[in-house]
């Protein structure tokens, strides 16, 4: 019986290893002939009408409000208002129907004019195909029915991985020759370092959602609530640094409430906190306005959180680095710290104890976000596309 149990355990371990290997191999991308996926079709399905047709190659989403997805939906819908046809093609639909995905878009995107396609054989000839992730860039590279191809690049994705297969394959896509639309000038510089050409947009906010509690953005006398953007599943958002830092903050300031949102997490933290999980975009503005300090870290390109916090009149703490400092300026519109808990605690201490510094940072943040709107940034990118195609 002992030997039989040992054999069963070894068999189960081997099966698990095989499944892990199969998953790893499935994640490796290659060049291939798309005619195999197109059912042998060699001629395009013609788009109706005479206007431009743009196809966005997009991974399926768990949360339609996720920053990366919602941004490209925002851009695509803005381009639709220019008289273009906009198709969201989900290349890994994960069992979800086009109707279900379309219903989510309709609920999230105001006046949504986007189409959803999940069957590759239904993709028509298009004016432009957009890669939106490094994985999708391989699909776009081989797609035969696009007159032009662009890279909608929101982050330098090879930094998401340890140096290895995935990071090399991501870097490889930056050499495909697609004109790029980059989120921020740091991201643009990273793409151009591979020899490509790009234009960038600057992050903005929905002004109907993100605005200060008072017209002047006057801060409260006392800090009573600190917000932290916590996403443990997204390594680049530095969840561990935030939790280690907030443990020190909680010990030093036990009367300050700590609020964490961004992803549903188990309540096993080393301090008391209010956990709000994943929120829709519309709900985040009210949350931020109820907080007195906002903490949001990033190991790669800046997230939207510091920008949205600034627009709500909240002083921001983030980390140093060119990937953040292209927007966040230390002691002008934010406090930038070394990535160690003691430095974060010192920044919190300064903001708790110095109302004038808090007010100065809020004033700087509001002045920064007032310089642009999403509409102006999207118009800028649309004009770039017309020149670069």
User: What pLDDT was estimated at residue 322?
Assistant: 98
Q: What percent of the chain has pLDDT over 70?
A: 91
Q: Using pLDDT thresholds of 50, 70 and 90, give the confidence band for residue 7.
A: low
pLDDT at 20 over 70: no
Domain shared by 127 and 250, yes or no:
no
Domain shared by 109 and 138, yes or no:
yes
Does 139 reside within a domain?
Answer: yes
User: What pLDDT was estimated at residue 23?
Assistant: 67
In the chain, alpha helices (H): 2-26, 67-80, 98-108, 134-142, 165-173, 185-192, 239-252, 281-289, 305-311, 322-325, 341-353, 355-369, 374-388
pLDDT at 382 over 60: yes
Does 85 reside within a domain?
Answer: yes
Does 219 reside within a domain?
Answer: no
pLDDT at 42 over 80: no
pLDDT in tens, 215-234: 889 999 999 999 999 988 88
pLDDT at 5 over 70: no
3-state SS, 195-251, equals CCCEEEECCCCCCCCCCCCCCCCCCCCCCCEEEEECCCCCHHHCHHHHHHHHHHHHH
Q: Using pLDDT thresholds of 50, 70 and 90, give the confidence band for residue 18.
A: low
User: What pLDDT was estimated at residue 194?
Assistant: 97
Please count the structural domains in the chain.
Answer: 2
What is the span of the domain harbouring residue 124?
A: 53-202+374-388
Strand 146-153 to 225-229 pairing? unpaired
User: What pLDDT was estimated at residue 226?
Assistant: 98
Q: Quote the CA–CA distance of 318 and 172 in Å, as a whole number.
A: 30
Candidate from 165-179, 188-202, 261-275, 360-374 with smallest mean pLDDT: 261-275
Does 13 reside within a domain?
Answer: no
Q: Using pLDDT thresholds of 50, 70 and 90, give the confidence band for residue 28.
A: confident
User: What pLDDT was estimated at residue 169?
Assistant: 96
Domain shared by 98 and 113, yes or no:
yes
Q: Using pLDDT thresholds of 50, 70 and 90, give the confidence band for residue 35.
A: low
Domain shared by 232 and 365, yes or no:
yes
Whether residue 87 contacts residue 117, with contact meaning beta carbons closer than 8 Å, is answered with yes
Domain shared by 235 and 364, yes or no:
yes
Q: Quote the CA–CA distance of 188 and 137 in Å, as a whole number.
A: 17
Domain shared by 360 and 378, yes or no:
no
pLDDT in tens, 66-122: 889 999 999 999 999 999 999 999 988 767 899 999 999 999 999 999 999 999 889
Domain shared by 195 and 242, yes or no:
no
Domain shared by 257 and 180, yes or no:
no
Does 15 reside within a domain?
Answer: no
What six digits make up the tokens of 309?
């916090």
Q: Quote the CA–CA distance of 291 and 224 in Å, as a whole number.
A: 8
Domain shared by 286 and 353, yes or no:
yes
Give the C-alpha distances (Å, rounded to integers) separating 49 from 46, 173, 253, 321: 9, 32, 63, 48
Does 23 reside within a domain?
Answer: no
pLDDT at 148 over 70: yes
Does 66 reside within a domain?
Answer: yes
Domain shared by 229 and 181, yes or no:
no
The more confidently predicted of residues 267 and 314 is 314
pLDDT in tens, 239-279: 999 999 999 999 999 999 999 998 777 767 899 999 998 88
Residues 6+ apart with CB under 8 A from 135: 29, 59
Q: Which whole number is the average pLDDT over 126-154?
A: 96
Query: What is the CATH classification number for the domain harbouring 233?
Result: 3.40.50.2000
Domain shared by 245 and 280, yes or no:
yes
Query: What is the CATH classification number for the domain harbouring 164?
Result: 3.40.50.11090
Domain shared by 96 and 144, yes or no:
yes
The more confidently predicted of residues 93 and 385 is 385
User: What pLDDT was estimated at residue 308?
Assistant: 97
pLDDT at 365 over 70: yes
Q: What percent of the chain has pLDDT over 90?
A: 76
What count of other Cβ atoms lies within 10 Å of the Cβ of residue 114?
19
User: What pLDDT was estimated at residue 43?
Assistant: 79
Does 232 reside within a domain?
Answer: yes
């Amino acid at each position: 019986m002992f030997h039989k149990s040992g054999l069963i355990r070894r068999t189960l371990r081997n099966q698990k290893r095989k499944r892990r290997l199969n998953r790893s191999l499935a994640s490796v991308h290659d060049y291939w002939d798309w005619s195999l996926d197109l059912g042998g079709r060699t001629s395009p399905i013609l788009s109706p009408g005479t206007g431009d047709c743009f196809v966005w190659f997009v991974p399926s989403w768990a949360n339609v409000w996720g920053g990366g997805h919602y941004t490209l939906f925002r851009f695509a819908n803005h381009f639709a208002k220019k008289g273009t046809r906009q198709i969201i093609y989900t290349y890994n639909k994960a069992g979800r129907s086009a109707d279900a995905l379309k219903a989510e878009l309709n609920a999230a995107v105001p006046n949504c004019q986007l189409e959803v396609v999940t069957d590759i054989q239904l993709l028509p000839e298009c004016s432009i195909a957009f890669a939106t992730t490094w994985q999708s860039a391989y699909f776009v590279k081989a797609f035969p029915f696009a007159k032009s191809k662009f890279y909608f690049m929101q982050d330098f994705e090879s930094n998401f991985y340890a140096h290895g297969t995935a990071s090399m394959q991501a870097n490889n896509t930056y050499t495909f020759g697609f004109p790029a639309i980059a989120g921020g000038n740091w991201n643009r510089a990273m793409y151009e370092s591979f020899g490509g050409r790009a234009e960038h947009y600057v992050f903005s906010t929905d002004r109907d959602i993100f605005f200060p509690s008072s017209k002047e953005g006057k801060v409260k006398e006392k800090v009573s609530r600190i917000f932290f953007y916590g996403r443990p599943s997204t390594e680049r958002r530095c969840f561990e640094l935030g939790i280690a830092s907030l443990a020190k903050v909680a010990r030093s300031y036990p009367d300050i409430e700590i609020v964490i949102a961004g992803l549903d997490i188990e309540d096993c933290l080393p301090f008391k906190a209010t956990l709000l999980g994943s929120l829709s975009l519309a709900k985040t503005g009210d949350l931020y306005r109820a907080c007195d300090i906002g903490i949001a870290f990033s190991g790669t390109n800046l997230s939207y959180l510091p920008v949205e916090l600034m627009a709500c009149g909240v002083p921001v703490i983030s980390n140093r680095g060119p990937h953040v400092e292209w927007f966040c300026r230390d002691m002008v519109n934010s406090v930038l710290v070394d990535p160690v808990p003691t430095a974060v605690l010192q920044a919190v201490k300064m903001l708790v104890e110095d109302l004038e510094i808090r007010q100065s940072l809020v004033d700087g943040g509001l002045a920064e976000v007032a310089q642009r709107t999403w509409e102006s940034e999207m118009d800028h990118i649309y004009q770039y596309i017309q020149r670069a195609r």
